Structure 1
Amino acid sequence: MAAWQPLHSLSTTAWLAAGFLSLALLHLLCCSPPVTQDAVFTPLLQYVNTTHSFLSSSSGRRSCDYSEGRWVWAPGHARRYNGTACGVKEGQDCLRNGRPDTGYLDWRWQPAGCRLPAFDARAFLSAVRGKHVAFIGDSMARNQAESLFCLLSAAAPHRVVHRDPEPHRRQFVRWAFPTHGVTVSLYWAPYLARSAGKSENYSMPYNLVYLDAPADRWAADADTMDVVVLSAGHWLLNSAVYHNGSGVIGVHAHPELNRTDIGYASPFRQAYRTAVERLSRSGRPRAVVLATFSPTHFENNRMDDPAACARKEPYRDGEKELNRLEEELRSIVVEEAEAAARMNGGDVRFEVLDVTKLAAMRPDGHPGPYMNRDPFAHGARERMQTDCLHFCLPGPVDTFNEMLQQILTKRR
């Protein structure tokens, strides 16, 4: 009997420990705030997800879908650079502009079934050594391009090759990382296709878009590009007159004109097709990444409400659903990328940077009224400029580049 005593004693101790652990977990689940729960359970979930990802890859199955997941509490995860020091657009430099809450910097995107690694600037530069990385599109393309420059500038010597003298415009920007022979460029082309009017001069009352031709500046440089990120969508929702060749094929949101209203979806699809066709025909090996739509968070569609995007935490999974427009714009990009991949069997590789869901869940990451310096210095006003579209830098848009890094390195 004596020989069995230690085993019996150990068994009793193990059961007691398991009981206390179960009670502690129950207390966390029922009585602790969500942030505390994330801080405790996230490491365990990371271990489970990492193990699952390894086993899946070992058995030949690719289980990582970065577009699906949830935001988890990760203190300090997005505090990786000083936006002022790397020269981000002033309207997205939220800390400089006096935003007092900084919790939006303490979240990490946790995909379902795998883990999204943190951005590794040295690895990114090595992966694109000697290459030209180009962002083409609207102000969300600029938001992501500036994020990438700031993430990379913390790891390697760099210089600004060109920046528009007017700080509010930034229609063409180019950065260089000489030690790796890397160039990063931003091309303002909110329709991807050639356009005139308000898209080039904000004082103009109209937009003219020529869907059969890519925008001039980026099209002229297309044969120098090795990695291209196409990111557009928001300007397609504005009123415009659309041309194909020399003739008008329709309008969007111009009821005063006696023309067929063709909406936004058809021009949006055609704009991506025109861009993809230009990037496919040079014979240059390259990766073309089509970014999906990043939703806005203007409460009640008011752009002058200082509380339009005042939420302090991300939405939880299932708390916020995409609306019909967001789903449609996302689907068009995915469909066009898949069609391009089927049609181009050569050296051009097409990928989707699917950010719609993760961006939709981050109403806390926008500048809001802090698009301007110290907006409440003279007291609160009922109406003031508010940005609930772009993301603060640093901020959630850095996650777009974490995903981009995985896209570019997954088949090397």
Structure 2
Amino acid sequence: MKSNLNRMPLASAQGTPPTNYPKTLLSILASVGGLALFLLLGSSLLALQPNESSVRRNFYGVDSSRKVIDGGIVADIANRDGSDVGTSRNFNKDSRGVDHRNKDGEVGVFRNSDSSASQEKESDGDDQRNNIGGNGDNKQPSEPQYTVVPDSEQGETAKSSLSTQGLSEGNVVQPQHSGVKQGNRYGNDSTLHKGKKDGVTSSSPTTMVDPQANSECNLYHGKWIFDSTGPLYTNNSCPVITPMQNCQGNGRPDKDYENWRWKPDQCDLPRFNPKKFLELMRGKTLAFIGDSVARNQMESLLCILWQFEVPKNRGNRRMQRYYFRSTSTMIVRIWSSWLVNQTSEPFGFAPAGVAKVHLDVPDDVFMGFIPQFDVVVLSSGHWFAKQSVYILNNEIVGGQLWWPKKSRPKKVNNIEAFGISVETILTALVRHPTYHGLTIVRTFSPDHYEGGAWNTGGSCTGKVKPVVASDLAENPFTNIMHEKQFTGYARSINKKNNKSALKFMDITRMFEYRHDGHPGPYRSPDPNKKTKRGPDGRPPPQDCLHWCMPGPVDTWNEMVFELIRREFEEKQSTSS
């Protein structure tokens, strides 16, 4: 009996009366009742308070709330004035609403590629089908056929939001709502210019609010207007046009695409004056750094200046250099695929032969030259469609068109990698101890492959004037790449500690209207090239990424000229 008592609960062994249990239960019930009353009162108070979206709108004048819907769609919940918009960006369909899901359930976001090196030779013949921009540098990876971003990755990308840390009130990063293809998609932000050419173009709303924007006229709100004055040069008056961008020389029959000028709403964008530009850049160096679109822009500037003075070619294997003796001005181009370091040696489980992109390391190919430059124009983005391995903090975190570890999820896809690379290179420039120049971030250049990708029947054949605003179709990939680019720019500003300047030249939206400005099938001087659709309806091989010269790309350099003028005048006024 004694042993049984030892095994009994202490309360029973000591003969404690069982009436304690009801008392304990009553105390518990009283506590629960009090808690319920507290929660009821708290809920009533919360119902009277503004929600997070309203708080954000009241403090900053915007509501950047976004909702992720099934299928990787990001819906903008409210616009800048707080009203509901209910628009969405569908990452499972292209700008034409075509579903690119493959049989494995992945979404193919196909992008055109643009390889070209500092002293590259242009490919010809059948090679042009797979490489619209040339062979590229011998250390660059080969041309991929397409970009595939799985549903899971696109969902993660869609969920990512822009950082507003460190931005002052009124400078909150806010993506432009995607709108829909009907009527005037941008309300008061968009106006139709009805001129000599049937009003075929509209204004371009600025998609992001620049933290460093000043009170001067916004160059990126405006319209395309027809100007019968004609271009600043011709294909016959400039000897440095890459053959694939020499559209007239390659037999393009129409020429109106050369005559559309960009007109900001609140001011004029002056026509480029070569003499004044060289005088402004007296004793200075301007460098274009980046991919083949950077080459496209650099050649445009050279062609414009060539009409005033023929420069001396002082280039070498590291960079192209053109010297204008009258003002000791140097125009430079340096090839850099991603603007960050890339290696080819084996790394971890990534073998040799696949480009290793070190997202947190600036490209040492050009960083050593940076102190010599007074103005730097950056161009990147399209190489993130190419096969590569992404390395961050000395660890493989993702890949594009390459990922053997099926059991290991990617931490970074190509879109996120682009954003990281932008922040890396811009941070390196705004913290460089001996760089005091002006850095211009020329934003992501849109392509116009309609009806498919560059290698799946996409085409810009037959486009002879800018698109009408009501017919402009959204390109979700362009939208998110532009957004990531701006995020990297805004974050780098918060880290600035040197005397350099940083400007965001926002051409993306305005150039989405210029589907007429690409070479299309007129990318080769070959008299036997195909320029029409075949009997099966398939379009000929074409380039809908780079820009004809002369053509819309010349506008970029008019904007560069204006940004340089503003910066130099501001420096003069502050120093005097």
Under a length normalisation based on structure 2, what TM-score does the superposition of the two structures give?
Answer: 0.56
Does the 8 A contact of 1:158 with 1:177 survive in 2?
Answer: yes
Distance change >3 Å, CA 36–CA 271, structure 1 → 2: closer
CA–CA distance in structure 2, aligned partners of residues 257 and 319 of structure 1: 43
Distance change >3 Å, CA 218–CA 352, structure 1 → 2: same
Moved more, 333-342 or 70-79: 333-342
| Larger strand percent | 1
2:514 corresponds to? 362
Which of 351, 355, 358 matches 1:210?
358
1:278 corresponds to? 428
Distance change >3 Å, CA 260–CA 309, structure 1 → 2: farther
1:313 corresponds to? 465
Q: Does 1:220 align with 2:368?
A: yes
Does the 8 A contact of 1:84 with 1:93 survive in 2?
Answer: no
Distance change >3 Å, CA 297–CA 324, structure 1 → 2: same
TM-aligned CA deviation for residue 266 of structure 1? 2.1
Q: Report % sequence identity.
A: 29
Q: Does 1:127 align with 2:127?
A: no
Which of 326, 330, 335 matches 1:188?
335
Distance change >3 Å, CA 309–CA 206, structure 1 → 2: farther
Q: Does 1:69 align with 2:216?
A: no
Question: Letter of the aligned partner of 1:111 in structure 2?
Answer: P
Does the 8 A contact of 1:158 with 1:175 survive in 2?
Answer: yes
Does the 8 A contact of 2:287 with 2:377 survive in 1?
Answer: yes
Structure scoring higher RCO (CA < 8 A, sep ≥ 6) equals: 1
TM-aligned CA deviation for residue 282 of structure 1? 2.7
Does the 8 A contact of 1:132 with 1:182 survive in 2?
Answer: yes
1:230 corresponds to? 378
TM-aligned CA deviation for residue 192 of structure 1? 0.5
1:39 corresponds to? 196
State the number of aligned residues: 350
TM-aligned CA deviation for residue 336 of structure 1? 2.8
- Secondary structure, in 3 states, of the residue corresponding to 1:275? helix
Distance change >3 Å, CA 163–CA 38, structure 1 → 2: farther
Moved more, 397-406 or 206-215: 206-215
- Secondary structure, in 3 states, of the residue corresponding to 1:65? coil
Which of 246, 263, 286 matches 2:413?
263
1:138 corresponds to? 291
- Secondary structure, in 3 states, of the residue corresponding to 2:451? helix
Question: Letter of the aligned partner of 2:195 in structure 1?
Answer: D
Query: In the TM superposition, what are the counterparts of 1:274-353 in structure 2 within 5 Å?
Result: 274-280=424-430, 281-303=432-454, 305=457, 307-353=459-505
Does the 8 A contact of 2:259 with 2:551 survive in 1?
Answer: no
Q: Deviations for 1:93-124, whole angstroms, at most 9, x for unmatched residues?
A: 11111111111111111222222111111121
Under a length normalisation based on structure 1, what TM-score does the superposition of the two structures give?
Answer: 0.77
Does the 8 A contact of 1:298 with 1:309 survive in 2?
Answer: no
- Secondary structure, in 3 states, of the residue corresponding to 2:522? helix
Question: Letter of the aligned partner of 2:220 in structure 1?
Answer: S
Does the 8 A contact of 1:292 with 1:329 survive in 2?
Answer: no
CA–CA distance in structure 2, aligned partners of residues 135 and 172 of structure 1: 10
1:403 corresponds to? 559
Distance change >3 Å, CA 378–CA 39, structure 1 → 2: closer
Stretches of structure 1 that go unaligned for 5 or more consecutive residues are 1-34, 43-60, 165-170, 198-203
CA–CA distance in structure 2, aligned partners of residues 410 and 71 of structure 1: 23
CA–CA distance in structure 1, aligned partners of residues 233 and 296 of structure 2: 16
Moved more, 108-117 or 211-220: 211-220
Distance change >3 Å, CA 124–CA 342, structure 1 → 2: farther
Moved more, 342-351 or 136-145: 342-351
Question: Letter of the aligned partner of 1:119 in structure 2?
Answer: F
CA–CA distance in structure 1, aligned partners of residues 454 and 197 of structure 2: 38
Runs of 4+ in 1 over 6 A off after TM superposition: none
RMSD: 2.9
Q: Deviations for 1:153-173, whole angstroms, at most 9, x for unmatched residues?
A: 211231121266xxxxxx832
Does the 8 A contact of 2:235 with 2:249 survive in 1?
Answer: no
1:200 corresponds to? none
1:46 corresponds to? none
CA–CA distance in structure 2, aligned partners of residues 339 and 119 of structure 1: 32
